[in-house]
Structure 1
């Protein structure tokens, strides 16, 4: 799995009809900055409102997942989101000229091909994974649905379905490596049973449904008169089926294509959690309603952790910024450059590391015989960490100075001594306005807070300083 965030190198457009609305639409995938996530934009509506791909924005689950925000609605988002997750993309703006993404061939393959065609671009920030901490379960006994997430340092999914059908029978599909999504899962098409078709049509759904973009499973003998009615409903001169099988005798791309498509849907629906996941997902008889309910449970668990963040530092992991890159952004130099590396950076927060050794110049005069890092230098190191975050808000940080303006509610909770590794973590309390930033910062040693403070800083262009 990728360590760094990714977007696409250039915009790319697909066109087609929506499965349920039947409205033709143009959909353009656009590059987006670090920390942007997945957002849809209804460019056909006044003000071109944005709809965040967030489970809290789900408003309808009628044979697809529909989200709504700012008075704008986007239908059937799961295939689009599955393609983004399957390519391990993090930041993409999806501009849409209608109410629903094009259904294309009923799978995510054409989205994958379009995105791969323009190329993926690595961004200078680590992916903000949510690692499943312990087992999370969802059950719907009435429908026989069960979904579980287990801890794992990777993202794997297994789906089991049983439609009590002589055509499909019991099936399962597994994706052991998310990097194989494009090859193993993306081309699996959406499907329904013949007995569902008329109900869906009368429910004002599948207006864009066609035998070229959906598989219709026939699990009973069908009379010629009914086939003629189906042909009229689907706008075809005729339709046929060999006994029990697939309408118009379409060949399946895989023996377990329906199970693979259910896995595709699950990947897309779980994207609404808002962060890339690490965990083992096991799902029996999943559907959009269950997927979204499960995604809400994961997000609730995720937010519980987020309220008390303790950054994790892996020394073996490549940093976002090494000391050379830090010196390109900050004007500080020895002995006043107090950071060694930056291990996380996005538009809202930053995490940096300082290794404390007895060789630090300040230990020569600060409590000889009882070396303690001066609190004022802990504050300075925190301010430099915040400076990295503030400089990240401008495209050309080398042309700016960053000045420390103030500090409030500063507390020193534990001594910092030689041998400690201090993790400095800062985040914006409000958007940067007129070059002024307000931040909250915490310093951790061995997972415990040793210092915290609120700070304000200004960034000024060098030619105006």
Structure 2
């Protein structure tokens, strides 16, 4: 995929899957439908009357406890981050997501199944030009010892560090510059994880009803309980990057900037997006011109000021 695609993209044909919600335990059928330019990623609950359309944008985030939940007019869709991460990682701008339950199915706890769904049907370029949110100055949010920031950069990259003070999940760090090949090879297969003591507590509270060793890494005080072990030695930090990519995609357009996250979760990721959007001096919405986009790749000062990209009319 070109670093700065000129035109928006969608999937070539509908594709479906079925699974269970991680927290609700409810069986869910999900279908991705091609969508036109400027449609964005939109969720629709087909099991409810009225079929309210919920755009995947930060203003529709209604909960960030344990997962990212979107809502509108009383209708909610939970655990959207893995699917959104897959779509962002593959450069998909427009999709209608139909599902007949309250949560996106967890599948194997990673984004890999959603990547396979998209690659199985292929990608189609649309006529509408692609627009970007270019970070113009550093923005940081903190909460205790947790921190998330976005800083100007030539492209979208992520740096992440975690430290759970656990013998199996001590300090881990990972960094990447995003491309569809990089996402598929390095991030998409990393699964969600949790501690056995927390899983047991959540189930007593009526949460994590769909969680199992088939869709999450479970860790006790000294060992990994999954019979097949880990997919990567640092699978934990890779999954945190997966989550962060999904959460930051709620800008509603691809970002040009570097995301740095330290011990963050969905709540702080969302606060970072909100803080950027609250101050127009932090960013500029730009649209690529075919002749200029590739040149913009290597000129950070010009790119950060939007000179090599065409500003969008508000």
Aligned to 2:273: 295
- Separation of aligned partners in 2, 1:151 and 1:255: 30
- Separation of aligned partners in 2, 1:207 and 1:111: 21
The reply on whether 1:269 has 2:270 as its aligned counterpart is no
- Separation of aligned partners in 1, 2:312 and 2:175: 38
Structure ranking higher on relative contact order (CA contacts 8 Å, 6+ apart): 2
Displacement of 1:203: 2.0
**In the superposition, relative to structure 1, how do residues 304 and 266 fare at CA in structure 2: closer, same or farther (>3 Å)?**
closer
Compare 173-182 and 95-104 and name the one that shifted more: 173-182
**In the superposition, relative to structure 1, how do residues 102 and 154 fare at CA in structure 2: closer, same or farther (>3 Å)?**
same
* CA contact 1:5–1:90 (8 Å) conserved in 2: yes
- Separation of aligned partners in 2, 1:193 and 1:264: 19
The reply on whether 1:196 has 2:198 as its aligned counterpart is yes
* CA contact 1:41–1:49 (8 Å) conserved in 2: yes
* CA contact 1:167–1:218 (8 Å) conserved in 2: no
**In the superposition, relative to structure 1, how do residues 310 and 74 fare at CA in structure 2: closer, same or farther (>3 Å)?**
closer
Displacement of 1:304: 7.5
- Separation of aligned partners in 1, 2:58 and 2:217: 28
- Separation of aligned partners in 1, 2:312 and 2:242: 36
**In the superposition, relative to structure 1, how do residues 47 and 314 fare at CA in structure 2: closer, same or farther (>3 Å)?**
closer
**In the superposition, relative to structure 1, how do residues 62 and 311 fare at CA in structure 2: closer, same or farther (>3 Å)?**
closer
- Separation of aligned partners in 1, 2:178 and 2:244: 15
Aligned to 2:32: 29
Counterpart among 214, 218, 221 of residue 220 in structure 2: 218
* CA contact 2:6–2:288 (8 Å) conserved in 1: no
The reply on whether 1:206 has 2:184 as its aligned counterpart is no
Displacement of 1:426: 6.5
- Separation of aligned partners in 2, 1:259 and 1:248: 17
Counterpart among 92, 97, 100 of residue 94 in structure 1: 97
- Separation of aligned partners in 1, 2:113 and 2:286: 40
- Separation of aligned partners in 2, 1:313 and 1:146: 35
The reply on whether 1:316 has 2:289 as its aligned counterpart is no
Displacement of 1:246: 0.7
**In the superposition, relative to structure 1, how do residues 302 and 192 fare at CA in structure 2: closer, same or farther (>3 Å)?**
farther
Aligned to 1:12: 15
**In the superposition, relative to structure 1, how do residues 314 and 83 fare at CA in structure 2: closer, same or farther (>3 Å)?**
closer
Aligned to 1:175: 176
**In the superposition, relative to structure 1, how do residues 313 and 25 fare at CA in structure 2: closer, same or farther (>3 Å)?**
closer
Counterpart among 42, 45, 48 of residue 45 in structure 1: 48
Displacement of 1:148: 1.3
**In the superposition, relative to structure 1, how do residues 424 and 169 fare at CA in structure 2: closer, same or farther (>3 Å)?**
closer
The reply on whether 1:283 has 2:284 as its aligned counterpart is no
TM-score, normalised on structure 1?
Answer: 0.60
Counterpart among 74, 94, 108 of residue 105 in structure 1: 108
* CA contact 1:130–1:302 (8 Å) conserved in 2: no
TM-score, normalised on structure 2?
Answer: 0.88
* CA contact 2:156–2:178 (8 Å) conserved in 1: yes
Total equivalences in the alignment: 295
**In the superposition, relative to structure 1, how do residues 312 and 126 fare at CA in structure 2: closer, same or farther (>3 Å)?**
closer
Displacement of 1:218: 1.4
Gaps of 5+ in 1: 220-243, 319-422, 428-465
- Structure showing greater Rg: 1
**In the superposition, relative to structure 1, how do residues 106 and 74 fare at CA in structure 2: closer, same or farther (>3 Å)?**
same
- Separation of aligned partners in 2, 1:273 and 1:426: 17
Displacement of 1:49: 1.1
Q: Secondary structure at the match of 2:131?
A: coil
- Separation of aligned partners in 2, 1:98 and 1:317: 41
- Separation of aligned partners in 1, 2:20 and 2:249: 23
- Separation of aligned partners in 2, 1:314 and 1:99: 41
The reply on whether 1:126 has 2:104 as its aligned counterpart is no
- Separation of aligned partners in 1, 2:290 and 2:91: 21
Displacement of 1:201: 1.1
**In the superposition, relative to structure 1, how do residues 426 and 276 fare at CA in structure 2: closer, same or farther (>3 Å)?**
closer
Q: Secondary structure at the match of 1:188?
A: coil
